[in-house]
């Protein structure tokens, strides 16, 4: 598959075996989603064939395709054979009178429903929905009544329904909270078919995958083990190839020296054999790796006071329900606080409440109902909102937009910063209207790096980032000397960055002085 001169895959032959769980990896733009479409049959390959099992579970990306259907029915549609049998059976039962042929057909349909476990379909679908935190009260509502994150979870249940022989999941952990991610992880580890999953969550890939299929060098190379195993093996293979090439180049230089010295003399046959050996040894040019690593470094113009933030009685309600209820805390300079808990319990609401009266940020006084918030002496805030909509002004280039946040910065500095975040050369002149989700996220990080704040407020910053960028962000946050408030579902980032946890638990926020691993251990011993 190629787009113009860009080759995604060239002459790839690979097999995904039953009982194995494959992570499909590669940086943004490598062709992961395109390859997934080739596997599902949504897009034909330009050359070659794809053999797939009859029963395929696929995570659909179109959230609005099932808006007119009930949630429970949307899940059952994951088993195409069962769903069409149920629909046809319903049409036949609705008739006032049936012909003999229709009666026989009804018998066949009942057989299909039995074979596909159709008589327990609703209860099986309900179990999947409950595991993904879709409450019973929503099961008989239409999909149109659900929020975006809930729709994604229903579509995930649809992919898992009906015991498919193979599961193809593109970013299944997006829009899932930590509890749902854990449930999905356990489900997939027990799954006995073939799993192919695209994910930018290293922890998830390490926990679930038995193999990694990595898109790089214009092909797909399969490695045994999880993501970390693949990185190690890939590094070793690459360095071995480069070492072999160096040896070959040295040998070629020696042979060419011999050819130059004796080509005019009496040793013609030896010269000819040396020439043949040079041809054989000629280094085959390695297809270039498409992995690009951004360089993220959060510096501070100046440190804040010893207390970075102090707030008392912070409250925010929606429709009479208090999402954040009279929460108070003191945050000292240099603390890195991770906000955890299920989706919809108030993590973003609290961040917006704390920023409600901060000028020049995308927040408003309406985000705080009650309480007092006092940011410390000399505090400057770098904010990364969960919703990027409207965050980057349209009608500008990336360079022009970024330059507005520091008019004194030279063009060279701005281009250098963009280059660090993989906007190389002409890409800095890309119109802001044309930015992808990943590019928007990287440009927002450029803004924060340019501003050099001493407090970072980051709401789901790893969404839309590929694994390389997430790892770069993780390292940058660990090295950062300022204060951090962070919402993330990436367990590696939580474990390696956080020094304190705010756990949101249905109206209560537990404040734990320690990292997320210590907090999990405390919870586990308390429940035991």
387-443: pLDDT as tens digits: 877 788 889 999 999 999 999 988 888 999 999 998 887 888 888 888 877 888 899
Residue at 94 is within a domain: yes
In terms of domains, do 201 and 270 share one? no
* CB count in 10 Å sphere of residue 269: 8
Q: Where residue 167 falls among pLDDT bands split at 50, 70, 90? A: very high
Query: How many Å apart are CA 377 and CA 202, to the nearest integer?
Result: 38
Domain limits for position 238: 234-281
The answer to whether residues 446 and 503 belong to one domain is: yes
Q: Which residues pair with 456 in a beta bridge?
A: 382, 484
Question: 202-206, 276-280, 355-359, 520-524: which has the highest mean pLDDT?
Answer: 202-206
Q: How far apart are CA 304 and CA 374, in angstroms?
A: 13
Q: Which range among 130-139, 453-462, 463-472 shows the weakest confidence by mean pLDDT? A: 463-472
* Domain count for the chain: 3
Asked whether residue 444 falls in the same domain as residue 498, the answer is yes
Which residues are CB-contacts of 328 (< 8 A; sequence separation ≥ 6)?
311, 312, 313, 314, 371
Whether residue 499 lies inside any domain: the answer is yes
Q: Is residue 290 part of a domain?
A: no
- 372 and 386, same structural domain? yes
pLDDT band, residue 290 (cuts 50/70/90): low
Whether 283 shows a pLDDT value over 70: the answer reads: no
Same domain (yes/no): 211, 313: no
Same domain (yes/no): 192, 123: yes
Residue where a domain stops, chosen among 230, 263, 292 = 230
Domain identity same for 336 and 266: no
Residue 286 clears pLDDT 60, i.e. is over it: no
Q: Answer yes or no: do 417 and 340 share one domain.
A: yes
Kindly state whether residues 407 and 445 are assigned to the same domain.
Answer: yes
Cα–Cα distance for residue pair 185/18, rounded to 1 Å: 18
The pLDDT score that the predictor gives to residue 282 is 65
Rounded to whole angstroms, how far apart are CA atoms 414 and 447? 10
My answer on whether 207 and 240 are in the same domain is: no
Instruction: Read off the tokens for 211.
Output: 């193999």
pLDDT tens track for 229-264: 998 888 787 777 777 777 878 888 888 888 888 777
Question: Residue 160's domain is classified under what CATH number?
Answer: 3.40.50.300
Tell whether 226 and 240 lie within a shared domain. no
Q: Quick one: 63 and 152 in the same domain?
A: yes
Q: Which long-range contacts (CB under 8 A, 24 or more apart) does 504-510 make?
A: 504/339, 504/340, 504/341, 504/342, 504/345, 504/346, 504/347, 504/350, 505/341, 505/345, 506/345, 507/322, 507/323, 507/325, 508/325, 509/324, 509/327, 509/346, 509/350
Helix (H, G, I), strand (E, B) or coil at 511: strand
């Amino acid at each position: 598959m190629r787009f113009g001169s860009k080759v995604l895959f060239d002459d790839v032959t690979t097999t995904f075996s039953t009982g194995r769980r494959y992570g499909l990896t590669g940086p943004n733009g490598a062709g992961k989603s395109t390859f997934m479409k080739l596997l599902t049959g949504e897009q034909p390959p330009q050359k070659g064939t794809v053999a797939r099992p009859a029963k395929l579970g696929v995570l659909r990306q179109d959230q609005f395709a099932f808006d007119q259907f009930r949630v429970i029915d949307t899940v059952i549609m994951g088993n195409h054979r069962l769903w069409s049998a149920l629909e046809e059976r319903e049409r036949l039962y609705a008739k006032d009178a049936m012909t003999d042929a229709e009666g026989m057909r009804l018998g066949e349909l009942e057989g299909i429903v039995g074979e596909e476990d159709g008589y327990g379909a609703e209860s099986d679908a309900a179990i999947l929905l409950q595991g993904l935190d879709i409450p019973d009260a929503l099961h008989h509502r239409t999909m149109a009544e659900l929020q975006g994150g809930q729709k994604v979870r229903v579509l995930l249940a649809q992919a898992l329904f009906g015991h498919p022989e193979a599961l193809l999941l593109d970013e299944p952990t997006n829009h899932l909270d930590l509890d749902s991610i854990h449930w999905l992880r356990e489900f997939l580890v027990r799954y006995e078919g073939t799993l192919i999953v695209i994910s930018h969550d290293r922890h998830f890939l390490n926990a679930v995958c038995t193999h990694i299929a990595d898109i790089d060098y214009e092909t797909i190379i399969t490695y045994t083990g999880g993501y970390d195993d693949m990185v190690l093996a890939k590094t070793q293979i690459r360095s071995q190839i480069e070492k072999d090439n160096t040896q070959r180049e040295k040998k070629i230089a020696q042979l060419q020296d011999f050819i130059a010295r004796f080509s005019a003399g009496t040793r013609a046959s030896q010269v000819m054999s040396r020439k043949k050996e040079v041809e054989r040894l000629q280094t085959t040019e390695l297809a270039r790796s498409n992995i690009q690593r951004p360089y993220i470094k959060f510096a501070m113009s100046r440190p804040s006071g010893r207390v970075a933030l102090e707030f008392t009685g912070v409250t925010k309600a929606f429709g009479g329900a208090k999402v954040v209820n009279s929460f108070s805390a003191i945050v000292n300079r240099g603390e890195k606080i991770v906000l955890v808990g299920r989706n919809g319990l108030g993590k973003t609401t609290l961040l917006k409440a704390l920023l409600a009266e901060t000028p020049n940020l995308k927040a408003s006084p309406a985000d705080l109902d009650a309480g007092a918030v006092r940011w410390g002496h000399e505090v400057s805030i770098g904010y990364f909102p969960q919703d990027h909509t409207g965050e980057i002004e349209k009608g500008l280039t990336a360079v022009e937009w970024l330059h507005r946040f520091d008019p004194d910065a030279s063009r060279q500095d701005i281009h250098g910063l963009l280059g660090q975040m993989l906007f190389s050369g002409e890409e800095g002149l890309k119109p802001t209207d044309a930015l992808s989700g990943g590019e928007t996220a990287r440009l927002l990080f450029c803004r924060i790096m340019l501003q050099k704040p001493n407090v970072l407020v980051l709401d789901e910053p790893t969404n839309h980032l590929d694994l390389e960028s997430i790892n770069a962000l993780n390292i940058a946050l660990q090295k950062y000397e300022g204060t951090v408030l962070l919402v993330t579902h990436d367990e590696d980032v939580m474990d390696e960055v956080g020094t304190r946890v705010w756990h949101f638990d249905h109206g209560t926020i537990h404040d734990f002085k320690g990292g997320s691993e210590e907090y999990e251990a405390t919870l586990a011993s308390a429940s035991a």
